[in-house]
Structure 1
Amino acid sequence: MSASTTDAAPDTSRQAAASDADVARVHELATRSRVAARSLALLTRAEKDAALLVLADAVDAAAGRVVAANDEDIERGRSQGMAESLQDRLRLGEGRVADVAQALRDVAALPDPVGEVVRGSTLANGLQIRQVRVPMGVVGMIYEARPNVTVDAAGLGLKSGNAVILRGGSAAASTNRVLVDVMREALAEAGLPRDAVQLLEGGHGSVTALMQARGLVDLLIPRGGAGLIESVVTGSTVPVIETGIGNCHVYVDAGADLERARAITVNAKTHRPSVCNAAESLLVHRDVAADFLPSALAELADAGVRLHVDQSTADLAGDTPVEAATDEDYATEYHGLEMSVAVVEDIDAAIEHVERYGSQHSEAIVTEDRAAARRWVAEVDAAAVLVNASTRFTDGGEFGFGAEIGISTQKLHARGPMALPELTTTKWVVEGEGHIR
């Protein structure tokens, strides 16, 4: 999810030096988090679930405070020229506050990954070994103007036994402050340490200090635009899980049901265009382009989509307004009602296009040809590949994971929507009866 220059996501692009005060502030927060994490690691599932329900009720009860703070953030962003798509990500009305609270209840209903035995055996000498899921410890989040992430991260952190340090963008500063205050009060009410959830404020130097708090912070997850993610990945000494931008494609194959393809394309682009699993590019097999594109382009344009197209597409556009696409258009995550379109010779050309311009997030094929579907699934390198389904389904909630903490596009440890298991690591438990080697 890219952030434009008007989105006040945590700006790490300048890599501001951390002052002694920044380092001291982060170390003090992280030390308190580590103490809280030790307490969380001892909790039973019932205790964690009960606390999550207390948090959910507290967020619901504080809806008026949250919406008022969010209105302040929205008005400030509007006065600073924030794009409408970014305002949509920032907006947290009463309906979305209720959804955020419900996400906590959904997380409470999920299985607890902590303590799960991943594998184990009894050796020939009688020694018992088990690989068991355990919390990461202290998880830091650096993210943009999506205040729902504040609650999602706290809830997933609590359920997985982790303390979280949250650093949101200044665009959502008022909303995040209220949400964290509400959750800390609720944690205390539930008999848990307030420091299980902490908000890192301050300037850019405090972000750098968080990125370099190796040994105090166990894992850092950036969630935002390409610049933010790149800066955190390259500038951190703390281990990082890389979440990625979403330059997602819909490919309409020669074997597609064209009515199904039209519905999927329109949904993938227009259902909520500001989010990372919205489709940014449409690829159409040459054999079905003349039958598919005129009506599909017209419907997209009627929905307000600005279309950047190649010449073959332009020749089929009829009265639908289009403009010539550039390489930059095909590489862009628009976060709004814009889409690039190209006619391709075959599935090979479609796969090559995705490999060149895609971001390894979500890539969809529409086809009734099972051989083409198998090739797409096998050859397209992405966290999620979809067959005859909208890219909008790449989401932790839609996958049944409850709230997600991000969508990883890397290949180590976690890939795709990250939920509870991805916030754990493992340790080996070895039990003997006086065994010596």
Structure 2
Amino acid sequence: MNFLEFLNNNIVLLDGAMGTMLQKNGMKAGDVPEHFNIEHSDIIIKIQKAYVEAGSNVIFTNTFGANSKKLSNSSYSLERIIKAAIANAKTAMGNKGFVAYDIGPIGELLQPSGLLGFDEAYELFAQQVKIAVAEGVDLFVIETMSDLQEVRAAVLAVKENSDLPLIASMSFEENGRTFTGCDVAAMACCLEGLGVNAIGINCSLGPVQLLPVVEKLLNYTNLPVSVKANAGLPTKYGGYDIDEVEFTRVYEKFLKMGVRIVGGCCGTTPEYISLLKQAIANAPKDIKMPDVIRGICSGEKFLPYGGIMVVGERLNPTGKPLFKEAILNEDIEYILKQALEQVEAGADILDLNLGLPKIDEPSIMKKVITALQGVSDIPLQIDSSKPLAIEAGLRCYCGKAIVNSVNGDDESLDAILPIVKKYGAAVIGLCLNKDGIPKNAEDRL
């Protein structure tokens, strides 16, 4: 039975903390946790075996910081560290469950908030994915992310370099947003569109604080939801403020809400996992889930379908010589000024058309969208007739965009719809073909 088959028929029990368990087992400040895979493999295996014995169906590899940037000064190669981590996890798990390759943040903010480019982030994640696939992991977990764009880079790296299941999880504050401002509804909208198999919340808070955040998440996705909370909040004495009994009481509420994947993050131990196993055994069956709210989003703002949406359509060179000149000269500042004027005037969505003859439309599309995301949080509508430009825009866009548009010709559908599906975009379908607009409604549909 593979992981997805198991998930379809069971509530999945993940493992608990690794970092705080390593500290209890002698890891000092300044030590590199991933080096323990090689230098202290016995400690890693002991911790992971304890989780397996407590009932974990899935254990994470000790690879949270295993990327080339974080380990640039390591005396070990990235490949050696990853291979050792996976070997340790397999030894601990045996044939009792599944090994998930754990992907954590790179450690730098992506553009436009930071300096790291999307393509560079993608390559850092893809490097890990390729090694993990070759070593035979069962699934991937992306966790403790605060930047939705970084999650997107990691998701695409997994999806384009493997066919394994994927859980994607972010860390939220009590206000329902991540450190970088990502809304829980936007996370669900964007990541479900990209084709992840489960969506989750982990770290940053204890289960009590996460209850309303998880409740909101369940309204925006019908994918399995994962929760891996901390053992409460940190105390001034160096621990966490919720024991395994209280932790489990709150998790019983998660299970009644319909959460399908549970585990623990910072401060949790095998004792926490053991009690979660008992809670799963007593969890209610056939839970009625809420109707899912659908829509589009930027990285910060979710816009539900329904009602009237105002689309700003001035980012278009047709009949606008100054805008045409700005495209040709790559005058990004002028384009952003035009965008912000529409936002201030009340636009809900910005339509972006950069189509001109003899320009590199994919290149300018990428530059403009990257810049736009630094000044505006309203969703985008990518308006182009060129599939390469559409894909360039969707790939770098942090959110779920609209593609404007496809018509009823097979050539248009075959060129555009696979791109729309890959990036989880919405699409405007025009009821016309090469012969024009049919005269009656039946032919239009």
Q: What TM-score does the superposition give when structure 1 sets the normalisation length?
A: 0.28
Q: What TM-score does the superposition give when structure 2 sets the normalisation length?
A: 0.28
Structure showing greater relative contact order (alpha-carbon pairs closer than 8 Å, 6 or more residues apart): 1
